[in-house]
Amino acid sequence: MVSKMTNKSEVEQLIKKIKEYRNDMVARNYPHQQISDIITKWENRNIKTISEESQEELEPITSPMSDE
């Protein structure tokens, strides 16, 4: 599970490092399907930044002049 404190750039760096590792394994003719599956799983996650998480926790602002 990804912590709320994980920022998007850290996840992107992790994916980059794993891809480099996978590419090295492919060059050496090692099986790489499992590592490819991990990369795909993390690339397809909807990672939110801390500010995006905080924004969702805020209540909407309503104007006193509105009908709501």
For 41-49, what is the mean pLDDT? 75
Q: What is the pTM of this model?
A: 0.43
**pLDDT value at 52 more than 50:** yes
> Measuring CA to CA, how many Å separate 58 from each of 5, 51, 52, 55, 67?
17, 11, 10, 5, 21
pLDDT at 25: 79
Q: Domain extents for the chain?
A: 1-43
pLDDT tens-digit series, residues 28-40: 776 667 777 888 8
